[in-house]
Structure 1
C-alpha cells in the first residue's frame, strides 16, 4: 500500500498538466492535477510514518492525514476514498478481490454522501463502476490469481467509465474531452494494479485516453471562472455540520462537508465550497467553530491563493 500511494503520487505529478487542462467541471479553474497530486502526496507522507501490517489502519491514517489538508473538490474526494477503503479493510493484512470490491463500494458511498449535489460523469462514477465488476469465476476465490485477474477487469471497466463521462456532462460533450477527476482516479487505480500484481507490463489505457479524449493545447474557458474556493477544517457536532452544510448551500455551490476523525466533542470536518464572496463563507464557518487549515483560492487561474 505504501508503494501504491508513492507510485500514484508520482503518476499524478507526471500527468498534472493534462489533468489541469481537462478541468472544466464543476468549474474551469485548471487545478485538478495539482489538487490530486498534492493531496495524494500528503497521504504518501503519512503512510510512511505508520508501522504495522494492517492495510486498513494504514489507509485510514493516510486518508485522514490527506483529508486534513486536501486541496480542492477532487482532493477531498480522493482522501475520502482512501479513508473509506481503510475502514472497509480494517484488520486485513492481505487483500482479496472480494474485499477490495467492497472497499471500492464503501468509497463510492462515502464520496457520494459527502457531496450536496453529486452528479454522474465524475471521479465518483469511476468508483461506482469498478465496485460493480464481477469476480472472475475461473480462478479460486480469495486467491492472488483472482485478485490479479479482477484488477484487469477493473482497469478495463474504469477506462470505459472515464470515456463515458464525455456524454454524461454537457460541458464535456461540447468539448469532446473526458472528466479530469475521473481520469485522475483511473491513474490511481492503474498504479494500484501494478502494486498488487508487481507486473508493470500490462496495458495502461491512460495514454490512449489522453491521446483520444483530451485537449492538449488547453482550453480557452479556463480564465472565465469567477468566485472563490474556500476550504477549512473545523471541529463540530454532527448537527452543527449539517446546519453548516445547509448554510453553505445557500451561500454558494460545490459544497462538500465530510468528517475526518472523531473528537471528544464531536468530529473534525473538512469543508469545501465555491462562493462569490469568500468572507461570507468564512463567517459561516467561524460562527460554528474554530476554523484551521483555511484556504481561499480564486477560481480565476491568474489569482494567487491566500490562507487567512
Structure 2
C-alpha cells in the first residue's frame, strides 16, 4: 500500500472529503454543542475543505497547457494554504492546522504515519487550552494508531479515529448530556475516510457510533451557555512569529476558544470574546489583519425566525465601498478581495442570509461563473428559486441592480437586469507587476494597463491619461452613461475623478457620469459605459 501521496491522490482526497462533508454537513451541524451550540461545525468544515480543494484545482489548472503534472509537494502545500485562508470556525481552523502539519511532512516525502503524527502535534500546539473529547482527541488517536501500524497507516488512523470519536461523550460532559459525539471529531472522521478511499480505492465501512442524536433538530440540545463570550472573531493576519506570540497572550486574556494557526508570515486567528473590537485591535498591533469576520452569539434565547421575503439580490463586490453601496440598494453582498475569490459555500451562505424565496445572483467576475453556478444549484436544492446573471464586472452588477424591481414578476425582473448588464461595456485599469506581452504590446512593471472587456487595449504611464484613452475607445461606439469606480489607493482620487468627469462632459455632451468610491480592496479604476 502506498505510504505517501502523489499529486493525483491529494486531488482525489480533497474531492472525496468535500463530497463526504457535503453529505454529512447538516447532520454534523445538528450535533454541534461544543464549544458553542451554534449549529455550524459541519458547514465550517465544508467551507474549509472547499477552499483547500479550490487551491489544489488551481495548481492543476496551471499545468493544463503543458504535458507535466504538478509536483506532489506543490499540491499538498496548496491544499494546506487553501485551508488556511478559507478556515471557518473553531473546528475548521484546527482542521487547517492538521492539513498544514500533514503538508509539512508529505511535502518533504515523509510517509503517511509521520504526516499524521505531525498534524496532530501541530494542531494541539495551536490551541491555547486543549480540551479532551474534541477533534484534538480524535486527531491524536488517529496519529497513535498510524504510528502503531505504519504499513497500513490510513486504515489504522481511520479506525483509531472512529474509536476515539465514539469515546468523546465520556470525556466531555456537554456531549454526554446531549447524547452526541463531538461534531468536529465526526467531521475529521469524514476527512480521514476520504483519505482511506483516495489511497486504497475502497471507502471504509460507515461507522456505527454508540452516541448519536436520534433526529436532526432534536430539542435535547442545550442553547449557548449564558455568560459565555458574545462574539466569535476570525481574521487572517500577516505578522512575524514574535508578534504572533504576543498576540496569543493578549487574546488569551480577552476570551476563550483561542486557536492561532499558520506560519511563514500568514496566520488564521480564531477566538471567542466579549469585546470584538479589542480582539481586532490586538491583530492590528501584531500586523495586518484582513478578511475579518465577527459573529454574534445569542446567549439569552433561541433566535426568532426572520420572516422570509419574496425576492433578494446577492452580489459579489471587489471593495468595501461598493459593498456599502450595494447594501444601501438592498442587496446582500459578498466581498471579494484581490487573489481571494469567494468559494461557492460563501455564496450559498449569502443566499441563505438573504432569506428569500427568489434570489438573483450577480457574480461580477468571469472567473466565478462555475463557483456561482455551483452555489445556485445548491440553493435550489434547498428550495430557493435562483437566477444567475453572468455579470463579468462590478459595473455590470451596478447596472443590473439599478433596474431591479422586486415588485415585478421574477422572470421579468431577471430579463430587465440581464439586459442592463449586457448593455454595459466594462473596463479596468490596473498596474502591471512585471514585464510581459499583452494584446496591446509589451508592458513594463509599473505601467498602467487599460483592459476593455477583459483584454489589454491601452498601455500608459499615468492613470488619468490611460483612463481618458480607454474612455475614448469605449465611447467611440456610443453611450449614454459612464460609471467610474475609484479604488482607495488612487493618489489624488478626487482630482482624478473631477478630471475624468470633466473630460467626458467636454468631449461627449450627451453622456452623463456617475462616480463611486470602491473603498479598500478595490482595483484602481473600474469603468462602465451604458
Normalised to the residue count of structure 2, the TM-score between the two structures is 0.50
Q: Distance in 2 between matches of 1:184 and 1:166?
A: 16
- Hey, what does 1:221 align to over in structure 2? 222
SS of the aligned residue for 1:119 comes to coil
CA pair 37-221 structure 1, distance change in 2 beyond 3 A: same
**CA apart distance, 1:223:** 5.2
The structure-2 alpha-carbon separation of the partners of 1:134 and 1:199, relative to structure 1 and needing over 3 Å to count, comes to closer
Q: Report the CA distance shift for 1:58/1:77 in structure 2 as closer, same or farther (over 3 A).
A: same
Contact 1:223/1:302 (8 A) holds in 2 = no
- Over residues 9-50 of structure 1, what are the superposed CA-to-partner deviations in whole Å (9 max), with x where a residue is unaligned? 111111111111111111111110010000000000111112
240, 244, 253: which one pairs with 1:237?
240
| Rg comparison, structure with higher value | 2
1:78 aligned partner: 95
Distance 1:188 1:30, change over 3 A: same
- Residue 17 of structure 1: SS of its match in structure 2? helix
1:252-297 deviation per Cα after TM superposition (whole angstroms, max 9, x unaligned): 111111234x2xxxx1221111011211211222232221111011
Q: Please say if 1:12 is aligned against 2:34.
A: no
Q: Do the aligned partners of residues 289 and 306 (structure 1) sit closer, same or farther apart at CA in structure 2, a change above 3 Å counting?
A: farther
User: Residue 267 of structure 2 aligns to a residue in which SS?
Assistant: strand
Give 1:108's aligned residue: 120
Aligned to 2:135: 123
Q: Which residue of 2 aligns with 1:281?
A: 279
TM-superposed CA distance for 1:53, in Å, is 4.9
* Among 194, 201, 206, the residue aligned to 1:198: 201
2:206 match: secondary structure: coil
Q: Distance in 2 between matches of 1:246 and 1:165?
A: 29
SS at match of 2:37: coil
Query: Which string of whole-angstrom CA distances, capped at 9 and with x for unpartnered residues, describes residues 159-203 of structure 1?
Result: 110011011111112222110001110011111111111123x42
Match of 1:158 in 2: 161
**What SS is found at the alignment partner of 2:268?**
strand
| CA–CA distance in structure 2, aligned partners of residues 110 and 118 of structure 1 | 12
- Look up the match of 1:250: 253
Which structure is higher in RCO with an 8 Å CA cutoff and minimum separation 6?
1
Q: Confirm or deny that 1:297 pairs with 2:306.
A: no
Structure with higher strand content:
2
Q: 1:45 aligns with which of 50, 54, 76?
A: 54
Name the structure 2 match of 1:90.
107
RMSD, matched Cα: 2.6
Whether the 8 Å CA contact 1:177–1:215 is kept in 2: the answer is no
Using the alignment, how far apart are the partners of 1:124 and 1:101 within structure 2? 17
- What secondary structure sits across from 2:36 in the alignment? coil
- CA–CA distance in 1 between the matches of 2:100 and 2:288? 23
Structure 1 position 122, deviation (Å) = 1.1
Equivalent of 2:173 in 170, 175, 196? 170
Q: Deviations over 1:215-267 (max 9, x none)?
A: 4233442455661110111122212111111111111111111234x2xxxx1
- Paired with 1:8 and 1:84, the residues of 2 have a C-alpha distance of 17
Which has the larger share of helix? Answer: 1
1:132–1:223: structure 2 CA closer, same or farther, 3 Å change rule? closer
Q: Normalising by structure 1, report the TM-score.
A: 0.84
Quick one: distance in 2 between partners of 1:181 and 1:192? 17
Aligned to 2:41: 32
Q: 1:180 to 1:228 in 2, by over 3 A?
A: same
Q: Does 1:2 align with 2:3?
A: no
CA contact (8 A) 2:146 2:157 kept: no
Residue pair 1:254, 1:274 contacting (<8 A) in 2 also:
yes
Residue ranges of structure 1 left out of the alignment (5+ in a row): none
Deviation sequence 1:93-115 (CA, Å, 0-9, x none)? xx8xxx11111110011101111
Number of aligned residue pairs: give it.
285
CA distance in 1, matches of 2:94, 2:147: 26
Q: Take 1:292 and 1:158, find their aligned partners in 2: how far apart are those partners? A: 34
Runs of 4+ residues deviating >6 angstroms: 303-308
